[in-house]
Structure 1
Amino acid sequence: MPELELESESPFTQSFDTLVNETLQRHHCPGTSISVIHNDQTYSKAYGHSDLKSQTLVNTSQTLFYGCSTTKAMLCAAWAIYISSAANREKPEHEQIHFNTALANIIPEDFVLPDRTVIVSLEDVLSHRSGMSRHELSYGYEAVDAPRGITRNLRNLPLHNAIRTTFEYCNLGYVAASHALDVVTGNSGFMREQIWRPLGMRDTFGGLREAREGDVARLYSWGKNGEWKEEALMGLDEVAGAGYVISTAEDYAKWMRCLLRPSNHGPLSEEMVEELFKSRIPATFGGADSVPLDGGFANYALGWFIGCYKGRKICYHAGGIIGGGSRVLLCPEIGWGATFLSNGQNSGVLLRGLLFELLDMALGEESTGYAKCEEVMPKFFEEMREQSETGFRKVFSNVPERPTVPLALPLSRYAGIFRSVGYGNVEIKTGLDPASGEETLLCDIEDRTWRAKWTFRRINGEHWRIDADPSRLPQARRAESRVEHDGRISWGIAMEPAMLENLIWFH
């Protein structure tokens, strides 16, 4: 679809263009592509650069961006299509799959948890209420680099919360649901055949290997010294329906129209969309991220957050990778939706005010959403840092300014390659602390889906704090070194920041 001539009713006014460019500059996002659906009208416009080195401009129909976690809604839609299909409904009743079917009944050999395996349903993992934590550094390496391997590794990862009690975002559950769909349909291209192709989404791909790499926007983060840093493109085949879509803003317009105007003649019926938008669990997050929702409250459905804005129901989801981000916002009551795709670090959060500005325009309401989002943006990242610090202080109280108890062995003895069953290998080396210049231990994790750079800082004795490069996975972790009976070193590391008290042991 060629970029549309902007008509008088287009939301892309001169003042909005100015707002977008100012926002991109303020938040250090090189470019973005935005599409809007309103009743029968579709609009799209590109801003900024897809490649800073070549100064290539973003193009709404050609530039490919990572859709990131907005993929989740497509996976849920694919499951809704299968559940309603003749292939499923014509099976004996006890063999039919529904959203409340236990995953262990669908893929019994692959889906095994440390506990409660038989009761975790498809719906539980798709609504982030399975009790599983994120464990983001547990996949992307060796045999854990494809949906089946990632699913089978769940048995080696500790659970966090009781089932159906707590909303806890977990990509791994979506990977397992993707693998289950592949097994049931015998078709890893089910999403393409049932959603993308019927909707004419010819510029939508599953993972980098499928995409036209020359058209994929480069990814960027903003360095602490005020410079652009180009980040490596991510393959993402292994995460599948959790976040592997690469697409254009114009293709996302076709996807939004399908959701806003469901039809028995299209991929999604009204009943399917109603099921997808039905709330499953409160997802109260509070703080800066609750702005500008009515009451600061949202629920999670199947691949969608559900909230209220100025008295109207909205459905939305953001996504992010290292150097890129996305967000989709729908207001079904007025037949409206908007998407942005961007190649800036944290852009899924940083640019969200632009979608609320567009929604205010569509509602004919006073423009307040954008200003509220921008006002709390510094607080958003400060709250993330504070949450990490608060969790750390709960585990370590009364920490001395400097260690008072020495290590049992010389620092170099604590370096080496260490392995755990669920997380694979980590290589710990001696090096200089980038902040203090003192000799310490460092760890670069580059062989996973999510990369990390760690600096070990000793608290006391064999107790350590691990600080991460803020451009990667920035949460603080705790660690404990242990001298075994044979003189070898073992490391216990809180690999999941939400579970600081749970150490994963590497030997």
Structure 2
Amino acid sequence: MMVSYYSKLISTKLKMIIKMKFTYAFALVLFIQISFGQKNTPELKGIDNNIELLMERYRAVGAAVAIVKDDKVVYSKGFGYRDLQNQQPVTSNTIFPIGSTTKAFTGTLLGILESKGQVSLKDKPNLYIPQFQFYNEKMDNLITIDDLLSHRSGIGNQGTSEVFFPKKDKLEVVQRLKYLKPEAEIKNSFEYSNMGYTLAGTIVEQITNKSWDSVIKENLFEPLEMVDSYTTLQEMQESNNYAMPYGLYKGNIEKVKFEEFNSISPAGAIKSTVNDLSNWMLTWLNNGVFNEKQVIPQNYIREATRLQNINEDSYEKDAFLFGEGYGWRLRSAYGYYRVDHGGNTFGFSSSLVMFPFEKIGIVVLTNQDNSELPYMIIDNITRKLFKLDSYPIEYPVVVKDIFRPDMDEKGLNNDKLPTHDLNAFCGTYEAKGYGKIKVISEEDALFVILPTFKFKLEHLNYNSFFFKATDQFKEVFNPQFTIQFLNNIQGEVSQLKMYSQKEPVEFHKKT
């Protein structure tokens, strides 16, 4: 659940990591499966070759691409492998986790409920969630549901609470917000917020008295005939055509673990196919109508794709329009109005783009972690469809390496030793809105135990350490945050600060 323009974010033990030296001279036997071919779209001539070349440069394992235009699917194909080890090809029906592209689905549920008179997007969250409070009275008085959908609330991601202290119960997690400081100006900022969408999904559950998952299925997956779309890993893994997650590390392709979304599922948990997402795009491009039925309210379509929040950007010719709708990013691109959202989750990168007035939609799903490949493919397709000049230089290769622990062991910094014996730092520390951290001593070293992780505390200087990942850590994100122990007026260790977000989180020693 990780921000640049295209978003990002951070548990079970994965049995093995597969290192594979991927020789594209051999493996760009990239099996290409064609579900829909090009349907009389001459502008797309050569697109298969372009995609293959980009995949080769990115050392990508697999991808699926679909294009809709003028109320029909004109292109839908799979490239490469959904399972590299077993050489299983990607098809246009291969299921990929789509990460934050999920957000538009959660917003749409609230739009549907609003059309039925069950909620207003101008309502405050505490109308629907029992005994709910934000961090302060200003937030309680000002924040409305539409602020959550446009990242305008100021809540921020609250990644420390979500990632290091996960819970499955959404209602329990959003009640933490009374203890969590806002990360930006209330109602007057852009601060990307998975927690905001968790709160939005919780409101859906409270109104309907059903799970977010079931409301998504009943109101969107079923009427849009998204037959291969799911909200849980278990459902996806019960199918026979889903992609495995991969990342790059020092030039090698490695298999990674799937991300567990727990309570933040409304922000990023959907798994889908390019064929199913074609139906989603066709509906948005047809004012919410699918198969002659109004599935998404037309008024919500228009509100969700209007500028609701301005996102700061560099001052350039397209800067007059760059911001957020409801679950969508909006901007001027190539001289056209574009609506889009990307999605990153462990081992997968995706992007979905629509040009509403040209009735064009493009979706690219890949099983490569933290990769700009989907955006390069979309740029190439867009230039072809709009008959624009090719990208003036060779497309850049932008793939961030997955995190892997450094196994080198270091002792104490003898020039700046801790102020106390190591045992004095041991104990249980707690912060409301987060949870408990236990610090223990093992074999003359300190370790920290969180609900789902155990890290060694590697010494930096004096009473500062950092979370040192061990070989048991299988996540793709870097967890090595600094912590600092503080003394009370008696000189006893009484507190630790965790520098894992904009402001350090303070944990107080209990035992």
TM-score under structure 1 length normalisation: 0.80
Of structures 1 and 2, the one with the larger relative CO (CA 8 A, separation 6+) is 2
Displacement of 1:307 in angstroms is 0.2
1:90-132 residue CA offsets vs partner (Å, 9 max, x unmatched): xxxxxxx211111112214245434422321101111111111
* Cα drift, residue 145 of structure 1: 2.0
1:182 aligns with: 205
Is the CA contact (8 Å cut-off) linking 2:458 and 2:465 kept in structure 1?
A: yes
Mapped pair 1:129 → 2:152: yes
Which digits, 9 at most, give the CA deviation of each residue in 1:163-218, with x for residues without a partner?
A: 12210101011011101011112222222211211111111111213324443311
Given that 1:110 and 1:148 are in contact with CA atoms closer than 8 Å, whether structure 2 keeps it comes out as: no
Q: Report how far residue 339 of structure 1 moved.
A: 0.7
1:344 aligns with 2:368: yes
Identity %: 20
Residue 143 of structure 2, aligned match among 120, 141, 146: 120
1-structure distance, mates of 2:48, 2:396: 20
1:305 lines up with 2:329 in the alignment: yes
Q: Aligned-pair distance for 1:311?
A: 1.4
Residues 1:263 and 1:493: Cα distance change in structure 2 (over 3 Å): closer
Quote how far apart the aligned CAs of 1:4 are.
1.3
**Aligned partners of 2:69 and 2:310: how far apart in 1?**
29
**Following TM superposition, by how much is the alpha carbon of 1:285 offset from its aligned partner in structure 2, in angstroms?**
4.3
Distance 1:486 1:83 in 2: 57
1:411-430 matches, within 5 Å, as 411=422, 413-414=424-425, 418-426=429-437
**1:67 to 1:376, Cα distance in 2 relative to 1, 3 A:** closer
Superposed, 1:325-344 pairs within 5 Å as: 325-344=349-368
**Which one of the candidate residues 119, 131, 146 is aligned to 1:109?**
131
**In structure 2, what is the Cα distance between the partners aligned to 1:114 and 1:405?**
40
Greater Cα offset, 99-108 or 308-317:
99-108
Residue 41 of structure 1 deviates from its aligned partner by 2.9
Partner residue of 1:364?
387
Partner Cα distance (2:448, 2:369) in 1? 22
Q: 1:336 to 1:431 in 2, by over 3 A?
A: farther
Are 1:483 and 1:490, in contact at CA under 8 Å, matched by a contact in 2? Answer: yes
Aligned to 2:271: 246
* Corresponding residue number in structure 1 for 2:421: 410
Q: Distance in 2 between matches of 1:493 and 1:69?
A: 26
Contact 2:220 2:295 in 1 (8 A): yes
Alpha-carbon distance between aligned partners in 2 of 1:150 and 1:294, rounded to the nearest angstrom: 38
Q: Which segment drifts farther, 257-266 or 333-342?
A: 257-266
Q: Relative to 1, partners in 2 of residues 1:461 and 1:18: Cα closer, same or farther, differing over 3 Å?
A: same
Change (3 A) 1:221 1:49: same
Cross-structure match for 2:50? 19
Answer with 159-168 or 299-308: which moved more.
159-168
Mapped to 1, the partners of 2:245 and 2:438 lie a distance apart of: 27
Alignment of 1:35 onto 2:59? no
Secondary structure, aligned partner of 1:3? strand
Report Cα offsets for 1:275-317 as digits up to 9, x if no partner: 1111111112449xx9xx8349611111011000121110111
| Distance in structure 2 (CA, Å) of the matches to 1:431 and 1:169 | 39
Displacement of 1:8 in angstroms is 4.6
Asked whether the equivalents of residues 354 and 360 of structure 2 are also in contact (C-alpha less than 8 Å), the reply is yes
Q: Shift of the alpha carbon at 1:323?
A: 1.2
1:7-156 matched pairs, under 5 angstroms: 7-9=39-41, 13=45, 15-42=46-73, 43-61=75-93, 63-85=94-116, 87-88=117-118, 97-115=119-137, 116-139=139-162, 144-156=167-179
Q: Which residue of the partner structure matches residue 249 of structure 2?
A: 223
Greater shift, 460-469 or 476-485, is seen at 460-469
Answering whether residue 189 of structure 2 is matched by residue 171 of structure 1, we say: no
Q: Where do 5+ consecutive residues of structure 1 fail to align?
A: 89-96, 383-401, 433-438
Q: Aligned partners of 1:141 and 1:238: how far apart in 2? A: 13
Question: CA, structure 1 residues 367+262, in 2 after alignment: closer, same or farther (shift >3 Å)?
Answer: same
- Residue 207 of structure 1 corresponds to 232
